[in-house]
Amino acid sequence: MTSTTPKNKGLPVNFGLLIFPTFQALDAFGPMDILNMLSRDFPMNLSVIAQTLEPVSTKQRDPSFNPFRSNFGESVMPTHDFNNAPDLDVLIIPGGYGVVADDLDPLFNFVKRTYPSLKYLITVCTGSWIAARAGVLDGKRATSNKNAWADTKTVGPNVKWVSHARWVVDGNIWTASGVTAGMDATLAFVEHVYGGDQAKKLARELEYERHEDPSWDPFAEMYNLPEESN
């Protein structure tokens, strides 16, 4: 569809959500719910992008993470695969246990070749591991979830990881800390791009008490992370 209303001039129109097996549901759907609501006020398109067009499940791929053999998860339908995804203004990458799978090269390659034409990249939780392994965080300040910080540093040795942060912005890359931090980062992104009133309105509609300070991070303290930005 075309989006030519003056209201949208210069604003991002085409959003992409990247999903993969065993993604973390709320990493994706926190930001998505905010953007779903925003799309009532601005012309916006969403592509849900995966390696194939088969449904993608949040279920554990790795049986060692599913000791009680639960059959519990939700499956989301992609709209595009890595080969037919449209040009994007904004790409959102959730994290989840699936980020440690050893067959994600096509996904890293998609991020690597898509990033240069994006207006914004947003990662949530270990979604930053995907961005790091795609090489797009090298030399940049970024954050990730706080439960696996040692691994984060190993995954992205050339990234300037910030240990105490709800989210970090470096250039056009927004990286959020663990899971629900994605909602605060997305609302801050909305404030940056669409204005503070819009972000406030969305938070009120979601009945969400947002954190507006990117340095707020009691979880870094809970996990005893040293204050650092290497």
Interface with its own copies (CB under 8 A): 1, 3, 5, 7-8, 15, 17, 24-26, 28-30, 32-33, 35-36, 39-46, 48, 55, 58, 60, 65-77, 145-147, 177-181, 183, 204-209, 211, 218-219, 222
- Pick the closest to residue 18 from 59, 54, 49 (CA basis): 49
Contact 152, 203 (CB under 8 A): no
Q: Work out whether strand 14-18 and strand 167-170 pair parallel, antiparallel, or are unpaired.
A: unpaired
In the complex with its own copies, which residue's Cβ is closer, 74 or 87?
74
- Residue 223 one-letter amino acid: Y
Q: How distant is the alpha carbon of residue 200 from its chain centre?
A: 21
Minimum CB separation of residue 159 from its own copies in Å reads 19
Minimum CB separation of residue 105 from its own copies in Å reads 25
In the complex with its own copies, which residue's Cβ is closer, 114 or 177?
177
With vertex at residue 44, the alpha carbon angle to CA 38 and CA 50, rounded to the nearest 5 degrees, is 105
Collapsing DSSP to helix, strand or coil, 201 comes out as helix
In the complex with its own copies, which residue's Cβ is closer, 101 or 157?
101
Minimum CB separation of residue 144 from its own copies in Å reads 11
Minimum CB separation of residue 72 from its own copies in Å reads 4
Residues 6+ apart with CB under 8 A from 97: 22, 24, 60, 61, 62, 65
Minimum CB separation of residue 138 from its own copies in Å reads 25
In the complex with its own copies, which residue's Cβ is closer, 157 or 218?
218
Minimum CB separation of residue 40 from its own copies in Å reads 6
In the complex with its own copies, which residue's Cβ is closer, 108 or 216?
216
Contact 174, 128 (CB under 8 A): no
In the complex with its own copies, which residue's Cβ is closer, 116 or 207?
207
- Main-chain phi, psi angles of 180, to 5 degrees: -70, -15
What region, left, alpha or beta, does residue 135 occupy, with left being phi > 0 and alpha being psi -120 to 50 degrees?
left
Give dist(CA 25, CA 19) in Å, integer.
Answer: 10
